[in-house]
Amino acid sequence: MEGRVRAWLNRAQVSKADADELIQEAYCRIAMLDAVDHIETPYAYFHSIVRNLLLRRLRRERVVPLEAFAEIEALHDDRPSPEQLAAGKVAYARILTLIAALPERCRQIVQLRKIEGWSQKQIAVHLGTTEKAVEKQVWVGVRLIRQAWADAEREIADGMDDAAMASGDRR
């Protein structure tokens, strides 16, 4: 893990001494965490800490070539950040909750199609129905899920507006 980050820093033309400092600071930040069981992809987590420390250091320097920022961004992994992973898990859990609230037949079909990845034909054979009926149930289920999602988002936004008004923030 550290070797991959060191190689990335080398490609970003960071001196060995600076790379050592960045990696040491990243280890210190991880050591200060109360727990690490929430970290599912240690490399991505470690890499994002080092990357953020490097970017912060470059911003503090008086003269920073603009190319340095572009190069660092270009070298960045395409892996999702820890924040993106957490948001994805929350969204997935929300979707599962919304699917569970669908009518029984609709829920079963949507789960097989969207979660399990079965084809409409496989579902039709499994349930002894037509592909058209499966298609209709998937359409109904997705429509209900989208509506429930939009309603929940609207409630959250309304709650934030209510809280802002209660605190005197008049935006």
Whole-angstrom distance, CA of residue 160 vs CA of residue 142: 27
Domains in the chain, CATH or no CATH each: 2-79 (no CATH), 83-166 (1.10.10.10)
Q: pLDDT of 28-63, one tens digit each?
A: 888 888 887 788 788 788 888 888 888 887 777 655
3-state secondary structure (DSSP) of residue 171:
coil
- The token duo for 164 is 């802002």
Q: pLDDT of 74-116, one tens digit each?
A: 555 556 667 777 878 888 888 899 999 999 999 999 999 988 8
Query: What pTM, to 2 d.p., does this model score?
Result: 0.49
